[in-house]
Amino acid sequence: MQTRRPLIAGNWKMNLTQEESVGLAREIALGIKGLNDVDVLVAPPYTVLGKVKQALQGTSVLLGAQNMHWEEAGAFTGEISASMLLEVGCTHVILGHSERRSLFQETDEMVARKCTAAQRRNLVPIICIGETLEEREKGLTFQVIQVQLAGALGAFLETGRMPAGTVLAYEPVWAIGTGRTATPEQAQEVHAFVRRWLAEHLEEGAAASTRILYGGSVKPGNIRALMAQPDLDGALVGGASLKAGSFLNIVRGACQTGA
């Protein structure tokens, strides 16, 4: 039975103007009023985080960033640190998104460093993992997931303790932005595997309390079936998070099946 509170997170990627971002944030905040059974988060681009934070003041919508560097400060042109994200009001940060991994050569080791930096500053990481189509077709899905988990969570394995609230997001690369969602059964199979892995490697209770989101072409039309799976605790939504209507319908869908 689902005891974890669902989380629906919108990853806006490199989209929207300042005006559009603020407008979308306001519409989301208004639209989720009264929906008390679900956490809602938006992850806009860096340049609008401050403005979106202002627009969300006094609402329950959480603010996350899409990435960060592991160092605190210094000569890292173009990078942003955990303290900078905290300063503009972020509570969460997406780490190791597959676009970061494939387009910007992020490795598990880099993701691990970022996880440690997030932990140091009490920023909650949303750690993304997922296999490519080629890996799935070769039957390597679980192997890939296991390597990514061990790599990204490496720093926490000694104590078995992850930062409070840590979120994992299973995002099969072949389902991201393709319109081709994993079936609820395919997603559940991997989510259950991830939870078993957490149970084997982390302190007692961590596996049961960790939220594992699914990401990859989540839409209002498929959220209910996905959320009906026992190990699916929410969604990381890209394309469908850019319009208030579709994002809010996903949030509503998660409310009805979750909790």
Cα dihedral: 214, 28, 99, 2 (round 10): -10
Per CB under 6 A, 258 contacts ligand PGA: no
Q: Decide whether 202 or 226 has the Cβ nearer to ligand PGA.
A: 226
In single-letter form, the type of residue at position 49 comes to L
Q: Decide whether 74 or 179 has the Cβ nearer to ligand PGA.
A: 179
Sequence-ordered list of residues with C-beta below 8 angstroms from that of 62, at least 6 positions apart, any chain: 39, 40, 41, 42, 91, 92
Is 43 within 8 Å of 74 (Cβ atoms)? no
Q: Which of these segments, 54-62, 77-85, 188-196, 232-240, binds ligand PGA (CB under 6 A)?
A: 232-240
Sequence-ordered list of residues with C-beta below 8 angstroms from that of 70, at least 6 positions apart, any chain: 110, 113, 114, 116, 117
> In the window 10-49, what residues touch ligand PGA (CB under 6 A)?
11
Tokens 């149970």 identify what position? 199
CB of 1 to ligand PGA, least distance (A): 27
What angle, rounded to 10 degrees, do the helices at 244-257 and 18-31 form? 30
Per CB under 6 A, 236 contacts ligand PGA: yes
Would residue 171 show up in a list of annotated catalytic residues for this protein? yes
Q: Decide whether 81 or 217 has the Cβ nearer to ligand PGA.
A: 217
Per CB under 6 A, 238 contacts ligand PGA: yes
Alpha carbon distances (Å) from 84 to 16, 45, 49, 232:
21, 13, 11, 31
Q: Decide whether 81 or 246 has the Cβ nearer to ligand PGA.
A: 246
Per CB under 6 A, 215 contacts ligand PGA: yes
Q: Decide whether 119 or 217 has the Cβ nearer to ligand PGA.
A: 217
Q: Of 92, 97, 106, 131, which residue is the catalytic one?
A: 97
Would residue 92 show up in a list of annotated catalytic residues for this protein? no
151, 137, 138, 62: which is closest to 101 by C-alpha? 151
Per CB under 6 A, 237 contacts ligand PGA: yes
Binding mask 144-183 for ligand PGA (x = CB under 6 A): ---------------------------x----xx------
Judged by DSSP in three states, 32 sits in coil
251, 250, 256, 237: which is closest to 64 by C-alpha? 237
Per CB under 6 A, 96 contacts ligand PGA: no
Tokens 């597959």 identify what position? 98
Q: Of 99, 131, 135, 171, which residue is the catalytic one?
A: 171
Q: Which residues are catalytic?
A: 97, 171
| Contacting residues toward ligand PGA, per CB under 6 A | 11, 171, 176-177, 215-218, 236-240
